[in-house]
């Protein structure tokens, strides 16, 4: 039994796997880490392995406190991964992007793949059919865009994704002509993100006529209903990829 731990910029996500079966998952803040890990390990006493992928600022020592209960593994640039890293600065590639690329290669072999992860940031990662990781793009996520408008202006209010869905529970579309300040912000942020994603996909299509698109991250379900392109939407793809990457590492080390 394995604990897959994703330490993000804002939240920590933990999934418990038995083989490839996801048994349960947990979300919490970094301040709750110790208590939550104690709870999870006590609940799943058969867990023998913990694999950690971190883009946050938590020191490794926080996890090593639990090494008397479980074997702990950290994904790093030195890990055995199923793709060739063609990034010009390979050591700066984010651990989360490495794991997503690894999961795409392992789950969708012999295909061109574009992984779009919509969380705090929106990341784009392209791996070709020969398993070459070519790179991608990074832009602010939905929450960061709302926060930026609020914090860098004098009068624009802070909106959230939750407020949009509460106001329009039956509608997937955000009017592109906002006739109030709130609607204008919603249109600028949400339609801006949608147009950005669709634009990037079109640029990839001009070079690679055939590829699959995997949409992951906390905002993936919200965006999937609004995108025109055919995609595989899976908000748990990073955690599943972390489990698959660990299994690959064990087999090939």
96 is catalytic: yes
- For residue 251, CA distances in Å to 14, 105, 107, 247 come to 23, 16, 16, 6
**225 has pLDDT over 70:** yes
Check 6, 68, 96, 219 and give the catalytic one: 96
Q: How confident is the model at residue 58 (pLDDT cuts 50, 70, 90)?
A: confident
Q: Please state, in angstroms and rounded to a whole number, the distance separating the CA atoms of residues 119 and 142.
A: 8
Looking at the chain, list the stretches that DSSP marks H as alpha helix, in order from N- to C-terminal side: 33-43, 60-64, 95-107, 142-151, 161-167, 181-186, 192-207, 220-224, 237-252
Number of H helices, E strands in the chain: 9, 11
pLDDT digits (tens, 9 = 90+) for 189-208: 999 999 999 999 999 999 99
What pTM, to 2 d.p., does this model score? 0.92
> Which has the closest alpha carbon to 216: 117, 126, 121?
117
pLDDT digits (tens, 9 = 90+) for 112-155: 999 999 999 999 999 999 999 999 999 999 999 999 999 999 99
Would the pLDDT of 169 be above 90? Answer: no
Q: How high is the pLDDT of residue 170?
A: 56
Give Dmax over CA atoms of the chain in angstroms.
59
Write the pLDDT tens digit of every residue in 22-44.
999 999 998 999 999 999 999 99
Q: What is the pLDDT of residue 59?
A: 86
Task: Report the pLDDT averaged over residues 245-251.
Answer: 91
Residue-level pLDDT at 166: 67
What gap in Å lies between CA 175 and CA 166, rounded to an integer? 15
């Amino acid at each position: 039994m394995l604990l897959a731990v994703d330490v993000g910029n804002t939240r920590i996500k933990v999934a418990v796997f038995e083989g490839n079966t996801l048994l349960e998952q947990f979300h919490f803040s970094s301040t709750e880490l110790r208590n939550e890990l104690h709870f999870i390990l006590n609940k799943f006493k058969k867990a023998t392995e913990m694999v950690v992928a971190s883009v946050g600022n938590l020191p490794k020592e926080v996890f090593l406190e639990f090494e008397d209960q479980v074997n702990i593994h950290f994904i790093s640039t030195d890990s055995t991964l199923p793709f060739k890293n063609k990034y010009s600065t390979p050591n700066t590639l984010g651990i989360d992007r490495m794991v997503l690329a690894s999961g795409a290669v392992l789950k969708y072999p012999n295909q061109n793949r574009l992984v779009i992860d919509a969380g705090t940031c929106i990341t784009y990662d392209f791996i070709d059919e020969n398993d070459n990781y070519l790179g991608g793009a990074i832009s602010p996520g939905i929450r960061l865009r709302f926060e930026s408008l609020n914090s860098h202006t004098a009068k624009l209010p802070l909106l959230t994704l939750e407020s949009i869905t509460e106001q329009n529970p039956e509608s997937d579309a955000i009017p592109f002509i906002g006739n109030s300040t709130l609607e204008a912000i919603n249109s600028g942020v949400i339609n801006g993100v949608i147009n950005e994603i669709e634009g990037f996909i079109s640029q990839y299509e001009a070079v690679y006529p055939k590829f699959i698109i995997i949409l992951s991250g906390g905002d993936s379900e919200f965006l999937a209903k609004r995108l025109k392109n055919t995609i595989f939407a899976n908000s748990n793809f990073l955690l599943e990829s972390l489990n698959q990457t660990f299994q690959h590492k064990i087999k090939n080390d």
